[in-house]
Amino acid sequence: MRLNALIGTVGISFSAVLVRLVDLPPAVTSFGRNAYALPMLVALALLLRRPSLRPLRPLGWLTGVVFGVNLYLWHSSIDLIGSGFATVLANTQVAFIALLGWLLLKERPRAYVLAVLPLLAVGIWLISGAGQAGSQGSDPVLGALFGVASGLSSATYVLLFRHSSKRLPPGSEIGFLLHVSLGGALAAGLLAGAPGAAAFQAAPPSAHAWLLVLALVAQVGGWLFLSRALRELPALETAVIMLLQPVLALAWGAILFGESASGVQVTGVAVVLVCVALLSVLGARSGSVAPAGPEDPSLTAPPEERTAV
């Protein structure tokens, strides 16, 4: 099971790199990866003869709409600040889940969450370049804002998915993910509009090939490895394994695209990763929410609630 979890995490860590290789506008990439995931999920659902999800279709579509917006924000951050930094910032969802739970569900966060938040804010500011020249990215400040917004939207998606997963009949996870991908494609298509449709149709074959790889790795293959493994692993182990994703994304960005960083940004990355690690590991030890990367947020449910999604 640990090997499956590691394979899934390594696969998903390439997502941001694949987004850069697609080299299309953010909304178009979001639409393409969801659209290409649909036939793969249909084939899996038919092959495994999963039960119908008609009563949950509207909820699945709503969850997918939030997912599509989340991907658009994350892809925009990748374009502006680089694949590694964008993935690190997206992992701030761990903090936003606690804050949304406080605001919407009246679940007061634990003391360690409130203590870590100011330090997390400092780390985000440092990743944005802190106003210094020579920072990584074409617009590091705007990229950091998009990255944090993707963390917030990812947290919203997580809460919706957790609510939905409690109502899923056994063996229906693939079908529900199919509806989520459909909602994601719809939301991304609306965000892309007519210019996006033209860009998708005019995209070179290489872009479509990378979109297929992205759909297979991020939304189907990586999910299959992770969901089957992490259901059986303790929450603390899940937290540690999932922390590999932003670290590996930073490595792939540096190796494949030469993404460098100023000293201030490197410090910011270290601060954010420490904060995310503290929130994730302490949360897992206390039985609260475990972490997930931007590609597999449904795995944030605690062990007694976690399902394959």
Q: Is residue 305 part of a domain?
A: no
3-class secondary-structure state, position 270: helix
Q: How confident is the model at residue 169 (pLDDT cuts 50, 70, 90)?
A: low
Q: What pLDDT is attached to residue 305? A: 36
**pLDDT computed for residue 286 by the predictor:** 66
The burial of 169, by beta-carbon neighbours within 10 Å (0-12 exposed, 13-18 middle, 19 or more buried), is given as: middle
- Say if CB 83 and CB 17 are below 8 A apart: yes
274 in a structural domain: yes
Contact 292, 307 (CB under 8 A): no
264-307: pLDDT as tens digits: 888 888 998 888 888 877 776 665 544 444 555 444 343 333 33
Of the pLDDT bands very low, low, confident and very high (cuts 50, 70, 90), residue 60 is: confident
If one counts the domains in the chain, the total is 1
Question: Could you tell me the pLDDT band of residue 28, with boundaries at 50, 70 and 90?
Answer: very high
Give SS3 for 302: coil
Nearest to 255 by CA among 133, 92, 82: 82
Q: Is residue 306 part of a domain?
A: no
Q: Which domain does 291 fall in, by range?
A: 2-300
pLDDT at 298: 43
Task: Dump pLDDT digits (tens) for 92-130.
Answer: 888 888 888 888 877 777 888 888 888 888 888 888 876
Nearest to 180, CA basis, from 275, 68, 290, 293: 68
Give the three-class secondary structure for 209. helix
Nearest to 9 by CA among 197, 203, 222, 290: 222
Q: Above 70 in pLDDT, residue 220? A: yes
Taking only the tens place, the pLDDT of each residue in 133-160 is 666 778 888 999 999 999 999 889 888 8
What per-residue confidence (pLDDT) applies to 166?
67
Domain-located, residue 9: yes
Tell me how far apart the alpha carbons of residues 112 and 148 are, in angstroms, rounded to a whole number: 20
Please say if the pLDDT value at position 260 is more than 90: no
Provide the H-helix boundaries in the chain. 2-13, 15-22, 26-48, 57-81, 83-90, 93-105, 111-127, 140-165, 173-202, 205-214, 222-230, 235-242, 244-257, 263-286
Q: What is the CA radius of gyration of the chain?
A: 18
- Decide if pLDDT at 256 tops 60: yes
Cβ(124)–Cβ(262) under 8 Å? no
The tokens describing 69, both together, are 């917006």
Identify the pLDDT of residue 306.
35
Average pLDDT, the chain: 81
Domain contains 101: yes
pLDDT surpasses 70 at 131: no
Q: What is the mean pLDDT of residues 242-259?
A: 85
What pLDDT does residue 105 have? 72
Apex CA 214: angle with CA 212 and CA 215, to 5°? 65
Q: How many beta carbons lie within 10 A of that of residue 300, not counting itself?
A: 29
Determine, yes or no, domain membership for 235.
Answer: yes
Q: Are 154 and 73 in contact (CB under 8 A)?
A: no
Q: pLDDT tens for residues 61-88?
A: 898 999 999 999 999 999 999 888 899 8
208 pLDDT tier (thresholds 50, 70, 90): very high
